[in-house]
Structure 1
Amino acid sequence: MENKKRSYELKTVQVIGLGFLILIFIGSILLSLPIASADGSWTPYIDALFTATSSSCVTGLVTVVTAHHWSFFGQLVILIMIQMGGLGVVSFTTLLLIIAGKRIKMKERILIQEAYGYDTLTGLVRMVKKMIKGSLIVEGIGALLYTIVYIPRYGFLKGIWVSVFTSVSAFCNAGMDLIGADSMMGYVDHPLMNLVTMGLIIVGGLGFIVWWDIIAMFRRVHKEKMSLRMSWRRMTLHSKLVITVTSTLIVVGAVLFFALEHNNPLTMGNLSLGGKIWASIFQSVTLRTAGFASIDQSELTSASVLLGCVYMFIGGSPGGTAGGVKTTTIALLAYAVLAIISGKDDVELGRRRIRISNVMKGLCVVLLQVAFLMVSTFLMCVFEPGLTITEIIYETFSALGTVGLSMGITEGLSLAGKLVIIGSMYFGRLGPITVAMIMNVSGKNRKIRRRMPDGKILV
């Protein structure tokens, strides 16, 4: 029974990986067609493949300007890939089966369970329905708010289209837009654009499990007249950790970016105090896998670049649309370090003992992500000798973290450089453990029941 379970687990991650490959391949073919380009010409396949990968993996790095190069058909293809990539091919496959009136069998339920890391098979189909419905509602609200700005600028029909595209892209943490090469720089101090965009990014990056917990918390406050503090205590440990770490990262990042860039005339030095505050908060939010830019990334100070790489490495939270090693992974390893320093035998978090298997998995995620970063950075240094190491590191961190921010080098990459970034975006979207399990094609992952003699290694 154990072998069968392990075998199916391997097949599950392979199905997920293959699903993204199929989505990328179909998208690249469609984007290479003349109907997909604004001038009616064939798009070089490498650029079509790059855009399809960036869209499906909700990254946002582009070799051609989305607003100018693609026709409405091309932009529609990109939007569909962003939506499917953000919510996951498993969710969309389930949705199509539901629409077709097909019964969701046990095989599909197990696939959903493995894809989202749930411990139970109960209510999975209902969960997928709620997830898709909730996503569409949030994206709809975002699009409606965007129309306040975009309809006066672009007219009624195009304004609606740009609003829908931007809302879906922000919620799915894709970072692609139809504004132009300057992204959100023209709205750096615009309150509505900042609030709506950051709100969509944060909500999409929290994870769907946290959504339901937050809703349940406010329901208890409203219906059961429970205090907010007591209702907070009844939330799951996962949700409390995600909310706490996310809030801390946003605040700390905003303060640090303000301190590092407020006097830099090439980024936010010439803005008003209010503009600097908006730009600092936006930079802190967008770096964690969103990819929209309200200031010029190529002119950041070295300290800001390093801080940005750290944020891109961390990313969003599990079960959401963001990438990175996840907020919970970093928090878990931080508590493990504190446990060792304080001499504790167990990792304790929120008055709970964390299983050592969870800590080992988190460590595995971080180490594999570091390994992927080292390989991709090395290859980029080999294939792109004309670029600085700072530009290359920022690009590879952005690709593997599915962020989409760039120092302006993406369009000028060589064929080999583009292929490295394509691979990085794909690996980043799947996650390091998923990629490692896919590569374990032999399936030799049986649990070893015997215990070896103790060994000692100096650390």
Structure 2
Amino acid sequence: MKKLGAFTPPQLLLIVFILSITAGTLLLKLPLSYNGELSWLDAFFTSVSAMTVTGLAVVDTGTVFTLFGQTIIMLLIQLGGIGIMTFAVLFFLLLGKKIGLKERLIIQQSLNQNSAGGIIRLAIHLSIFAFIVEGFAVVILSTVWVPELGLAEGIFFSVFHAVSAFNNAGFGLKMDSLMGYAGDPIINIVISGLFVLGGIGFTVILDVWRSSSIRKWSLHTKVMILGTLIINVISMLYLFINEFENPLTLGGLPLDEKLWTSYFQAVSPRTAGFNTIDIAGLDDSSILYIILLMFIGAGSTSTGGGIKVTTFIIILLATISFFRRKAEINIFNREIRQELVFKSLAIAMSSVLLVVFALLILTHSEHHITFIELLFETVSAFGTVGLSMGITGGLSEVGKVVLIVVMFVGKIGPLTLAFSLAKPDHSKIKYPKSDVLAG
């Protein structure tokens, strides 16, 4: 049996994640966690969905789970979103323990950083920022939910949704998510503000906070902010125009609610998972567009999933450079390293293969569900989004297991999983170069 020190950082991260999901499953299966009946598979699915901050639910969170069960789900979301290793850092510091190089490398892996330098400081700042933002959001959300639900329930509702939104989980305590608040400015602004902040990436937030001017921002920050703004604006306009007369979505709403709903539903697929309209009622072209948004996902070092915005932009820039017959990839007067291009292509390709392989199984096991619904659900699971066309609860046991795997890999990352399982190649053999016809 391997000693703990014999495992690589990706392997240790994988082990900690699996153990946390297992503990969550056991806690959710306790009699005081749920009402009525809850199968082991459904408890496991819920634990994975919460730890991977996905938000897909096979049972209604607000009615099936008790207050204790909902609290367990909320804690799993917080652990999965901000990061288990981040909480471990705080725990060790409170105990006065020193954090060694091995632990720093694991934290580096969990936060998707290129260097272990300053990683402890980043983890501390990340935690403080998360708790401050969530606390501030709870106060504002309480102005809506306390008058509606009463003091105790209103505060719990506010805390649960603040944690779920900031960590881009998408778990809600109402069966229709936030459809009842489509025109409520407070809910729209606060919830979307939380998942945009959580999804843009903590390194970006720290960079903006520390820099006195835009010129001093890192290249990653500039690319991430510009990419996010462009995608969000285009998405809002597309959904507003495409769904304007759709009676199942925006058609019956007044103009101000159409604008609020278009905005919210444009930013939500970036791994948040909340919805203020019926997703199943969307036009096919809108569904396809949202699938693309879910696949792209949020930012690196964020609580969100997907291949990440920067990965998508790097591949896009590489494609443009190829068509322009340029050897270099430049943006903001900086050249992108070739290693990042290869990494981005590897992430995108492995993600596509994961989705396709999962779909191949689902199309055999779920004959009662249409292909577009299965595609939407699979990409939602991969991007840890949580949006659904209403089919999650009707999946077979095979279908649930497939989505569990997809959610897990989507959160951990295909490359992290590959690095944790593969043995390093120390071979120094080199072969002569040759060409293969492509295209």
| TM-score, normalised with respect to structure 1 | 0.92
Do the aligned partners of residues 458 and 407 (structure 1) sit closer, same or farther apart at CA in structure 2, a change above 3 Å counting?
A: closer
1:34–1:42 contact (8 Å) kept in structure 2: no
Partner amino acid for 1:65?
D
Partner amino acid for 1:238?
H
User: What is the SS of the residue equivalent to 1:174?
Assistant: coil
2:112–2:300 contact (8 Å) kept in structure 1: no
Displacement of 1:444 in angstroms is 3.1
Match of 1:134 among 121, 129, 133: 129
Match of 1:87 among 79, 82, 87: 82
Partner of 2:13: 16
CA RMSD of aligned residues (A): 1.5
Match of 1:210 among 199, 204, 207: 204
User: After superposition, what is the alpha-carbon deviation per residue over 1:173-226, rounded to whole angstroms, capped at 9, x for unaligned?
Assistant: 000012x11011000011111000110010000111001111123xx2xxxxxx
Displacement of 1:457 in angstroms is 2.4
Partner amino acid for 1:205?
G
Do the aligned partners of residues 274 and 323 (structure 1) sit closer, same or farther apart at CA in structure 2, a change above 3 Å counting?
A: same
Displacement of 1:170 in angstroms is 0.2
Do the aligned partners of residues 36 and 197 (structure 1) sit closer, same or farther apart at CA in structure 2, a change above 3 Å counting?
A: same
Q: Where does 1:89-168 land on structure 2 (aligned, <5 Å)?
A: 89-168=84-163
Structure 1 segments (4+ residues) deviating >6 Å: none
Displacement of 1:308 in angstroms is 0.6
Match of 1:328 among 277, 287, 310: 310
Q: How many residues align?
A: 435
Q: 1: CA distance between counterparts of 2:129 and 2:433? A: 52
Partner amino acid for 1:382?
H
Q: 2: CA distance between counterparts of 1:317 and 1:449? A: 37
Q: 2: CA distance between counterparts of 1:319 and 1:77? A: 24
Q: 1: CA distance between counterparts of 2:155 and 2:184? A: 19
Q: Where does 1:49-60 land on structure 2 (aligned, <5 Å)?
A: 49-60=44-55
Partner amino acid for 2:234?
V
Unaligned runs of 5+ in 2: none
Displacement of 1:338 in angstroms is 1.1
Q: 1: CA distance between counterparts of 2:328 and 2:118? A: 33
Displacement of 1:138 in angstroms is 0.6
Q: 1: CA distance between counterparts of 2:187 and 2:116? A: 40
1:27–1:77 contact (8 Å) kept in structure 2: yes
Q: 1: CA distance between counterparts of 2:358 and 2:292? A: 17
Q: 1: CA distance between counterparts of 2:143 and 2:405? A: 38
User: After superposition, what is the alpha-carbon deviation per residue over 1:221-276, rounded to whole angstroms, capped at 9, x for unaligned?
Assistant: xxxxxxxxxx1111100000000000111100000001111110011110001111
Displacement of 1:10 in angstroms is 7.2
Unaligned runs of 5+ in 1: 1-7, 221-230
Q: 1: CA distance between counterparts of 2:6 and 2:98? A: 22
2:438 aligned with 1:458: yes
2:28–2:69 contact (8 Å) kept in structure 1: yes
User: After superposition, what is the alpha-carbon deviation per residue over 1:371-415, rounded to whole angstroms, capped at 9, x for unaligned?
Assistant: 000011111111100110111111001000100010101111111
Do the aligned partners of residues 314 and 448 (structure 1) sit closer, same or farther apart at CA in structure 2, a change above 3 Å counting?
A: farther
Partner of 2:225: 243
Partner amino acid for 1:453?
K
Partner amino acid for 1:395?
E
1:9–1:114 contact (8 Å) kept in structure 2: no
User: What is the SS of the residue equivalent to 2:54?
Assistant: coil
Displacement of 1:119 in angstroms is 4.0
2:296 aligned with 1:314: yes
Partner of 2:191: 197
2:243 aligned with 1:261: yes
Displacement of 1:447 in angstroms is 6.3
2:54–2:168 contact (8 Å) kept in structure 1: yes
Q: 1: CA distance between counterparts of 2:427 and 2:194? A: 42
Partner of 1:172: 167
Q: Where does 1:415-454 land on structure 2 (aligned, <5 Å)?
A: 415-440=397-422, 443-446=423-426, 448=428, 450=430, 452-454=432-434
Partner amino acid for 2:110?
A
